[in-house]
Amino acid sequence: MRMRSTPLELGIACCAALLAATGCGGPMSGPDATSDATSGPDAPGADVFVDSAPDVVEQDNVVADAVVEDAAAADSGACPAGLGARWACEGTTGRARCVGGAVERVPCAYGCADRAGGDAVCSCGTMSNFTVWNCLPSGDLGRCSSGAWLEQSCMGRGCVAMPAGVDDVCRAPSTTSSLQMVLDRLGPTCAAISNGTRCAIAVRDLATGERASYRGAERFQSASSAKAIWVAAAVLDRGTAAVEPLATPVFRDSSNDAAGSVIDLLSSPDRVNAFYRGEAGMTNSSLCRWNTGGRTRQPSNCVPWSGASNYFTADDATEFLSRLGQGRIFGEPRLSVMLRWMTLSPRTGSPGGVLGTQLPAAARATMQHKAGWIPDLGNHNDIGLVEYAPGRFYAVSILATGTASNFWLRQSPWIEYASCVIFHGVTRGVTDPFTACRRP
């Protein structure tokens, strides 16, 4: 995706009770709690789930086969001198980077261009007029975006030409999605591993367009995962400079007060729901109340079914992530900044880093995500963009709700397990993705 570029892709929670709501990010004291300030990650003495994520600036999704080299460096976990987590040009024919000790190289058909302070990109060369997705002779798709050449693999299915000025598309798979079959098998393990928990999953491969969903239209309290969506709305309306001071507290620390300040940057709390239903494509989600930092944000356009709580669905969250990663909400340079902020979220561990715990090291290092959790109510979510090969991402949302008693010992380990199974289900690198992951 463009995720790191654009290819081609929360939540704060109100308590499920009455009219008071609190963010997520930490334990709450009950349904009448109005802020995590004394019980969440921002509380004095409480654990702050901080991880030192690499300062990766997102780069365009150039779908090309990368060559992973330097096995000795990979085994030792060390990168060769001169190579880091950011993509850098190697002459004019390609670009390279080193993540987790593994060197990755991607050829550039039309040249390579370094960008100050950010990732190098494959340049457009003679293809600069391809401003929408166009079918290529290979049967894949290509376009030029902000000077970067992007390609999207159609996985051998070929592409379909659309009217002039409209994005061409990959042909739809002719058989049942193998990814859907993985989710159909994975979904029921939620209740088996975490008795009394209801779960939902939605996945979309931004390189191939393949998507799958399990109970994806069911509503869940969004908890702090929604903070990523609110930040995107503020970046769209106000730009990155206005949001920058709040980004680290929101993504690294899951600060409820900082998230409230993000909402305050918008014209009104109503703008959050307008963004949900408009630019984000989230038609079954709603913000209804955010009470923290001494202020109550209560949109007038909260939907009646919400019960004054904040909700989203796995399908909606994945639609937002997909649009974000594909540069359909905003493009460069804002996109790279937003995605870099999302790497500030913890890489591993419960509750803030569950999406990455069982992922391979390279995918864990570059994933862009935001978790949300309300232990007292047994709610835990993680939504994000995962890079499964150089420049190829999938958007994923894993949502769980149950009881306080099964939150730590069952829900969190299940999300870690589910994330691993999904990764291997997308990559198809093993015969059975379930055997590659540690089941709780």
pTM, to two decimals: 0.69
pLDDT over 90 at 340, yes or no: yes
pLDDT tens by residue, 57-81: 223 333 333 444 443 444 445 788 8
- pLDDT bucket at 16, cuts 50 / 70 / 90: very low
| Mean pLDDT score across all residues of the chain | 82
Give 197's contacts (C-beta < 8 A, 6+ positions apart).
Answer: 190, 191, 378, 400, 401, 402, 403, 406, 410, 411, 414
pLDDT tens by residue, 386-421: 999 988 999 999 999 998 888 888 999 999 999 999
CATH of 178-436, picked from 3.30.200.20, 3.40.50.12240, 3.30.565.10, 3.40.710.10, is: 3.40.710.10
pLDDT tens by residue, 350-359: 999 999 999 9
The per-residue pLDDT for 116 is 82
Distance CA 124, CA 423 (A): 30
Contact 395, 318 (CB under 8 A): yes
Structure tokens at 129: 């007029």
**Residue, of 339 and 84, whose pLDDT is higher:** 339
Q: Which of 33-37, 150-154, 298-302 is the least confident region?
A: 33-37
Q: Identify residue 401 by its one-letter amino acid code.
A: T
Q: Give CA 43 to chain center in angstroms.
A: 26
- pLDDT bucket at 42, cuts 50 / 70 / 90: very low
The per-residue pLDDT for 6 is 37
Mean per-residue pLDDT, 317-326:
96
Domain ranges of the chain: 67-170, 178-436
- pLDDT bucket at 177, cuts 50 / 70 / 90: low
The per-residue pLDDT for 14 is 31
pLDDT over 50 at 17, yes or no: no
Question: Which of the given ranges, 21-30, 316-325, 327-336, has the highest pLDDT on average?
Answer: 316-325
